[in-house]
Homo-oligomer: A and B are copies of this chain.
């Protein structure tokens, strides 16, 4: 396949994902009808489902795409920075990202089949978080009395709490010092 065609396919795929992200975030999975997906992507259903087998595949691709972008930030700056970006609204698509994440949470609660399909896609963030923590440990910045696995689980539990907190529309102005406590609690301290 000539290179120009592959570029075109990639761009089209990106266009569908970006439109679908906004659409799922706004209407939820069930509410994101094919007609609304057409409007949000400015493409016909034929064009959309040429790239993705069905709505479920499109949603999973989107969730995977978001997880990959989060994993990139984690690799560069750590999971606490992902949380800080979320608070300050400085992540690339903060509201949309949150919308996808919430839909994943909701479907995990209510759709056991989805749980199985999602499991394969959810390892990326865990892997990126652990790698980042291992690197921090080698640099001597991480506390060394707790395993990297436990610290990664801890940070992901706090992230889950933050997502839930924001989703419920609870005030988030006071959470910066809370994230300082979280960051401090994984660090190596003086005299240790």
Contact = CB atoms under 8 A, between A and B. Distances in A.
One complex includes copies of this chain to the number of: 2
Given A164-B105, A164-B160, A153 B169 contact: no
Contact of A168 (B109, B154, B178, B181): B109
Contacts of A163: 164
Interface residues of A, number: 36
A46 interface: no
Majority-rule SS of A interface residues = helix
Find the residue from A102, A112, A153 having the highest chain B CB count within 10 A: A153
Contact of A181 (B105, B146, B160, B174): B146
Given A185-B181, A185-B184, A160 B165 contact: yes
Contact of A185 (B147, B161, B162, B185): B185
A178 B109 CA distance: 22
